[in-house]
């Protein structure tokens, strides 16, 4: 079921119980209250997507620049920034570099320089994020072990595959404590601290980057990317595969990704993650990973749901009082991501990129899977606008999906998506087998169906599947949706809650 990955959809569901006396929502709301300004963005409209599709479709393919990208195609402004970046040797030098990019962004005149800077500047908000999170992660062995293992593995991989001073500086930048504006950075102490950081600081930096990328115009032209920015100044000594062209496809793809991330962040802000570390700890015992009282007897849906429904976790996954506003904003970001993805798709089909690695975004797959891409984009666009009939590409069955209803009328408690009934019976089965010598063997084997969900709350799931007649029909609805083109959006909020 991997329940928690879907309930919170990200790292925020791993954060700890607040230690102070301030109630969770009060603490969160005082740090990041919802405001109308948060929706102040030049959103793409459905009409603009249709207009672009018609315009691209009426044009012949735009011939690509068949000349290989090289150093001469980079602006002097960007070359200077590149040269400075690849020589960074410490986290302090990286801090100064990012600070200067932010301070000077409005004075940048070249598109390649602005494209690079817009992507880099949000990194400044992630400085020391690993160190800041330690007090939270350490409150449960399962989160502590997971994050510690992840960071050690990342460090080992970096030293094998990216053994450059530049990458070491970046690793130190996100893992070590620091001083900024004369103040030692404060660590996070609660899940509310983390939720506020994600919905406030992180989202604001991503939205600013999106606005900057939105202001760029790379139509009918390209700028150049240097892969030394990723692999260090000692790489690509012969310049083969070093340079890549960047155009409108890359710009809009980046925007779509940014809005996808912001959709998840705002979703997280809408629901409480209070007591999530304690919940993770209790769930970890089912998997045998947290404490000497751990069970090593499987963790079926019935056991996981029982833990989540304990009274001590009543507030976990509950819609906050301002949650509907954040969910509406989450939908807007999701719609923007899908509309931009549709625009990218139409642009790819218009632009005749060579079947080489000349561009940063390899679009050669598009023409190979054009039919599937067209169907997926059509379904995705329809799903973010309202009720949509999805058809299984395997059985021909159909199911009605209303994804916006989930966001506009969000469920009061995400735990309502958990199964309400489970398969019962004997945990073990027995079989008698006769071998080739005629000897009879009596053997036991586990019944792996025991504990799986067999019924769900109809009213909760009807917010996404309005045609659902009873909870037991949910697997059919989910299967049909999963077999349709572009299906991932329809089941994204709930897919793994059903198992």
Residues 304 and 496: their CA atoms lie apart, in Å, by 13
Rounded CA-CA distance 172/165 in Å is 10
| For range 362-382, the mean pLDDT | 81
Query: pLDDT (tens digit, 9 = 90+) per residue, 325-334?
Result: 999 999 999 9
Residue that is written with structure tokens 């150049």 in the block:
224
Q: Map tokens 């020391």 to a residue.
A: 128
pLDDT digits (tens, 9 = 90+) for 176-208: 999 998 999 999 998 899 999 999 999 999 999
E strand map for 294-365 = 351-352
- Residue given tokens 């996404």 in the structure block: 464
pLDDT at 485 over 90: no
Task: Return the percentage of the chain with pLDDT > 70, whole number.
Answer: 86
Find where tokens 């899908």 sit: 338
3-state helix, strand, coil in the chain (%, to 5): 55, 10, 35
CA distance 423 to 488: 27
Better pLDDT: 101 or 295: 101
Please check whether residue 496 is in contact with residue 399, taking contact to mean a CB–CB distance below 8 angstroms: no
Q: Per-residue pLDDT for 356 more than 70?
A: no
Residue 362, beta-bridge partner list: none
Residue 228 gets which letter from DSSP? H
Rounded Cα gap, residues 29 and 11, in angstroms = 19
CA atoms of 457 and 451, how far apart (whole Å): 17
Q: Is 127 left (phi over 0), alpha (psi -120 to 50) or beta?
A: beta
Q: How far is CA 355 from the centre of its chain?
A: 30
Rounded to two decimals, what is the model's pTM?
A: 0.87
Closest CA to 336 of 384, 390, 270: 384
Residue 453: DSSP 8-state: E
């Amino acid at each position: 079921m991997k329940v928690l990955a879907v309930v919170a959809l990200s790292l925020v569901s791993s954060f700890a119980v607040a230690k102070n006396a301030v109630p969770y929502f009060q603490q969160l709301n005082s740090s990041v209250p919802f405001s109308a300004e948060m929706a102040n963005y030049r959103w793409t409209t459905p009409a603009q997507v249709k207009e672009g599709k018609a315009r691209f479709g009426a044009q012949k393919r735009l011939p690509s620049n068949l000349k290989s990208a090289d150093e001469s195609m980079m602006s002097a402004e960007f070359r200077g920034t590149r040269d400075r970046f690849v020589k960074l040797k410490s986290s302090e030098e990286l801090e100064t570099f990012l600070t200067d990019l932010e301070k000077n962004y409005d004075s940048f005149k070249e598109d390649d320089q602005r494209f690079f800077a817009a992507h880099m500047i949000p990194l400044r908000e992630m400085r020391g994020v690993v160190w800041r999170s330690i007090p939270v992660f350490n409150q449960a062995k399962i989160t502590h072990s997971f994050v510690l293992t992840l960071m050690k593995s990342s460090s080992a991989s970096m030293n094998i595959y990216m053994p450059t001073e530049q990458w070491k500086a970046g690793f130190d930048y996100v893992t070590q404590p620091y001083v900024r504006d004369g103040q030692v950075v404060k660590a996070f102490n609660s899940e509310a601290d983390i939720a506020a950081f994600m919905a406030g600081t992180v989202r604001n930096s991503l939205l600013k980057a999106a606005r900057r990328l939105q202001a760029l115009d790379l139509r009918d032209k390209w700028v150049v990317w240097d892969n030394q920015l990723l692999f260090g100044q000692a790489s690509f000594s012969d310049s083969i595969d070093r340079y890549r062209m960047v155009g409108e496809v890359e710009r809009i793809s980046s925007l779509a990704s940014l809005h996808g991330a912001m959709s998840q962040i705002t979703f997280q802000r809408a629901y409480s993650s209070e007591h999530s570390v304690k919940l993770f700890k209790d769930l970890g015992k089912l998997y045998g990973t947290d404490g000497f009282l751990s069970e090593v007897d499987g963790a079926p849906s019935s056991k996981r749901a029982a833990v989540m429904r304990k009274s001590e976790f009543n507030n976990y996954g509950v819609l906050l009082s301002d949650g509907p506003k954040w969910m509406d904003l989450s939908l807007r970001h999701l719609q923007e991501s899908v509309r931009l993805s549709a625009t990218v798709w139409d642009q790819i089909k218009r632009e005749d990129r060579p079947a080489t690695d000349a561009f940063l975004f390899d679009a050669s797959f598009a023409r190979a899977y054009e039919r599937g891409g067209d169907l997926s984009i059509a379904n995705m666009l329809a799903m973010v606008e309202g009720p949509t009939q999805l058809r299984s590409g395997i059985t021909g069955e159909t199911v009605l999906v209303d994804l916006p209803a989930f966001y506009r009328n969000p469920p009061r408690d995400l735990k309502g998506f958990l199964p309400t009934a489970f398969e019962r019976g004997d945990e073990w089965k027995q079989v008698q087998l006769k071998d080739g010598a005629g000897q009879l063997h009596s053997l036991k084997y586990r019944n792996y169906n025991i504990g799986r969900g067999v019924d769900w709350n109809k009213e909760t799931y009807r917010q996404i599947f309005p045609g659902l007649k009873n909870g037991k029909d949910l697997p059919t609805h989910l299967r049909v949706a999963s077999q349709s083109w572009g299906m991932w959006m329809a089941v994204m909020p709930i897919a793994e809650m059903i198992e």
